[in-house]
Amino acid sequence: MAEWFRRSTNKITTINKKDTAEGIWIKCPKCDQVIYKEELRKKKYVCTVCSHHFRITSQQYFNLLLDNPDNYLEIGKNIQSTDPLNFNASKKYSDQIILAKKKTGYNDAIRTVVGEIGGYKTALGIMDFSFIGGSMGSVVGEKIYRLINHAIENNLPLLIITASGGARMQEGSYSLMQMAKTSAKLAQLSNTGGLFVTLLTDPTTGGTTASFAMLGDIILAEPNALIGFAGARVIKQTIGQDLPEGFQRAEFLLEKGFVDNIVHRFDLKQTMIDIFKFFNYHPTSNS
Ligand SMILES: [Zn+2]
């Protein structure tokens, strides 16, 4: 916001609206700067003023990472939830799925593909937070399982980019079982010497954090990403203490050793290439 336009007295207060303006402008939720959407796209959805990393879709990560974003093999594309509990609370789960599919164009909260990053063939899973809060149900678990299988069989490095509110409670214990399923499969990958890298983006919480997200051989995070298990308010109420500043943010977790490094989106692709090279994978092409 321009300095001359800023309110000079604090006597008058208004609610600081977080909603972004519709149309061609978008407001940064961190510094309130109004940014031209096209400019934001060119800057890989990083705020031009404060470097806030906007949440982006799986497709936008494909564009960012893959040598050719249109050239990939999608694994388990058509797997869909069967609503095993016939869940019907305030909203019918089956209706929620239909709505989420329409909104995102995807069948569930993760897309799993094989594509090339800097010439390195990679098994790549990317979650979509916009699909029912990136929640992990039976479909997300099964797709991750198949992706890991593909990585094992073809000796490919595995990268999963997380964005998730946790387990999908509409599928009850079927959702919780995915934590064990993905973790067990990752142990198999580890036993065969395969590499698993996670990139935790804003937010990564609940059952996702409690399973595959934190099992990476290398755990990367985007700047200022919220990463945790339970919400800060619940923890505060439980322990009856104020939480330290920056609690559950990527920088705090790096300091405490839960995260290996924080990677700016501009550096993500090169970082992945460096990691693959370091772990002795060989590029299949020279792109
Ligand atoms: Zn900003």
CA distance 54 to 214: 22
Distance CA 258, CA 240 (A): 24
Is the per-residue pLDDT at 156 higher than 80? yes
Is 261 part of a structural domain of the chain?
yes
Structure tokens at 227: 């990463």
The answer to the question of residue 8 being in a domain is: no
Q: What's the CA-to-centroid distance between 201 and ligand 1, angstroms?
A: 17
Number of Cβ within 10 Å of residue 24's Cβ equals: 9
Average pLDDT of the segment spanning 121-139? 98
One domain for residues 31 and 66:
no
Say yes or no: 81 and 145 in one domain: yes
Task: Please state the separation of Cα 195 from the chain's center in Å.
Answer: 19
243 CA → ligand 1 middle, Å:
25
**CATH no. for residue 190?**
3.90.226.10
Ligand 1 geometric centre to CA of 34 (Å): 8
Into how many domains does the chain fold? 2
Quote the ligand 1 centre to 197 CA distance (angstroms): 28
Joined tokens for residue 134: 């990136």
| Claim to verify: residue 110 and residue 29 sit in the same structural domain | no
The answer as to whether 13 is a domain residue is no
- 248 in the same domain as 161: yes
Selection from 71, 93, 90, 103 nearest residue 139 by Cα: 93
Tokens describing residue 59: 């497709």
**Residue 48: CA atoms inside 13 Å, Cβ hemisphere, count?**
14
Considering only residues 226 and 286, tell me which one the structure prediction assigns the higher pLDDT.
226
What pLDDT is attached to residue 134?
97
**Predicted pLDDT of residue 84:** 93
Q: Are residues 175 and 44 in the same domain?
A: no
Residue 284 lies in a domain: no
pLDDT digits (tens, 9 = 90+) for 187-240: 999 999 999 999 999 999 999 999 999 999 999 999 999 999 999 999 999 999
- 164 found inside a domain: yes
Asked, for residue 161, whether it belongs to a domain, the answer is yes
Least confident of 13-27, 62-76, 240-254: 13-27
- Dihedral sign, CA of 102, 105, 110, 112? positive
Choosing from 32, 54, 76, the residue where a domain stops is 54
- Residue 128 shares a structural domain with residue 30: no
Residue 25 and residue 36: Cα distance in Å, rounded?
5
| Residue 285 pLDDT | 73
Question: Of residues 21 and 37, which shows the higher confidence score?
Answer: 37
Residue 118 Cα to ligand 1 midpoint, Å, equals: 30
Q: Looking at the domain assignment, is residue 142 inside a domain?
A: yes
Do 174 and 76 lie in a common domain? yes
Residue closest to 251 by CA, chosen among 269, 226, 274, 275 = 226
**With 90 as the cut, is the pLDDT of residue 8 above it?**
no
Q: Do both 168 and 206 map to the same domain?
A: yes
Could you give the CA distance from residue 250 to residue 230 in angstroms, rounded to a whole number? 15
Range of the domain at 50: 20-54
Which of 54, 77, 100 represents a domain boundary (last residue)? 54
Give residue 121's pLDDT band: very low, low, confident or very high (50, 70, 90). very high
pLDDT band at 21 (very low <50, low <70, confident <90, very high): very low
pLDDT, tens digit (0-9, with 9 covering 90-100), for 53-94: 999 999 999 999 999 999 999 999 999 999 999 999 889 999
For 26, which DSSP code? Answer: E
178 with 224, same domain? yes
User: What is the percent of the chain where pLDDT is above 90?
Assistant: 90
Same domain, residue pair 230 and 93:
yes
How many Å lie between the centroid of ligand 1 and the Cα of residue 48? 7
Q: Provide, rounded to the nearest whole percent, the portion of the chain with pLDDT above 70.
A: 92
- CA–centroid distance, 54 to ligand 1, in Å, is 9
- Res 168 pLDDT > 60: yes
Same domain, yes or no: 39 and 117:
no
Query: How confident is residue 97, by pLDDT bands cut at 50, 70 and 90?
Result: very high
Using the mean position of ligand 1's atoms as its centre, give its distance from the Cα of residue 43 in Å. 12
Cβ–Cβ < 8 Å for 211, 183? yes
Is 9 within the bounds of a domain? no
Distance from Cα 52 to the centre of ligand 1, integer Å: 5
Same domain, 130 and 28: no
